[in-house]
Amino acid sequence: MQGRIASAASGRVAWRTMRLVIARCSVDYAGRLTAHLPSAPRLILVKADGSVSIHADDRAYKPLNWMSPPCSLKEGDGDVWTVENKGGEKLIITLEEIIHDSSHELGVDPGLIKDGVEAHLQELLADRIETLGEGYSLIRREYPTAIGPVDILCRDADGQTVAVEIKRRGEIDGVEQLTRYLELLNRDPHLAPVKGIFAAQEIKPQARVLATDRGMSCVVLDYNALRGIEDDKLRLF
């Protein structure tokens, strides 16, 4: 029971640490839809924020299935875990064999520190938010969320909320990061609907395709123009 708080009456468990379990298991999701993961070896992450996610050895960091906080984990009899959120959605994890089970205290994360150019791009774009379009207005820089700050949150000319992710070089991981922010922000009725802008000095073709497919806009930022320096190179418009 090290690293967790348990209630003998309810069997519900609250974790203070990151728990990593590698196990052969099957997973069933019951909620608005149903989904089934057949038996296979998988990694189960139980994070200190209460989230539970199930991973395979592919798909980079993206889980096969997950439950976002707030949710509760109940370890029942017969090696069956039930993860339930406030909406009544459930992840039922049936453990057949536990290969590894450990808990680790990670402490407070300092967060992602952008390099000088990205930080300056964010500052410049916030000061010149009309670069994104006529009628845009700034809500705030570094808008806080449960998974980290959004670079810029603003409104367009129609009053719709816009989340902007800024990179020096725009690649697929930046699009995935903005996707996670949008998913979270759109749960807030005071902000929704929220659309996304992926902004960078250079955007890779694959990232542009993925962003467009997910309904995001792409903006190529001219660092010198934002700084007010005229570029003496010829431009083709």
Using the predicted structure, report yes or no on whether residue 173 has a pLDDT greater than 90: yes
What pTM was computed for the model? Answer: 0.53
Average pLDDT rounded to a whole number, residues 131-139: 94
Domain span at residue 197? Answer: 117-227
Least confident of 3-7, 138-142, 152-156, 198-202: 3-7
Nearest-angstrom CA–CA distance, 198 and 183: 15
Using the predicted structure, report yes or no on whether residue 50 has a pLDDT greater than 90: no
The verdict on residue 232 lying in a domain is: no
In a shared domain, residues 216 and 161:
yes
In a shared domain, residues 88 and 153:
no
The verdict on residue 3 lying in a domain is: no
The verdict on residue 76 lying in a domain is: yes
Nearest-angstrom CA–CA distance, 118 and 11: 47
In a shared domain, residues 47 and 81:
yes
* Domain limit, last residue, from 58, 79, 104: 104
In a shared domain, residues 131 and 176:
yes
The verdict on residue 237 lying in a domain is: no
The verdict on residue 5 lying in a domain is: no
Confidence of residue 234 (pLDDT cuts 50, 70, 90): very low
CATH of the domain at 86: 2.70.180.20
In a shared domain, residues 128 and 45:
no
In a shared domain, residues 59 and 124:
no
Name residue 92's beta-bridge partners.
28, 82
The verdict on residue 155 lying in a domain is: yes
In a shared domain, residues 131 and 216:
yes
In a shared domain, residues 98 and 132:
no
User: H helices then E strands: how many in the chain?
Assistant: 4, 14
* Residue 111 confidence (pLDDT): 59
The verdict on residue 13 lying in a domain is: no
Using the predicted structure, report yes or no on whether residue 6 has a pLDDT greater than 70: no
- Kindly give the interhelix angle for 172-185 and 205-213, rounded to the nearest 10 degrees: 20
* Residue 87 confidence (pLDDT): 87
In what side-by-side order are the strands of the sheet with 150-155?
A: 137-143, 150-155, 161-170, 194-203, 217-220
The verdict on residue 7 lying in a domain is: no
* Domain limit, last residue, from 73, 104, 135: 104
* Domain limit, last residue, from 76, 104, 132: 104
Q: Which tokens is 57 given?
A: 């050895």
Nearest-angstrom CA–CA distance, 129 and 135: 9
Confidence of residue 118 (pLDDT cuts 50, 70, 90): confident
In a shared domain, residues 162 and 186:
yes
End-to-end CA distance of the chain: give it in Å, rounded: 64
Number of domains comprising the chain:
2
In a shared domain, residues 31 and 100:
yes
In a shared domain, residues 173 and 205:
yes
CATH of the domain at 153: 3.40.1350.10
Contact 51, 67 (CB under 8 A): yes
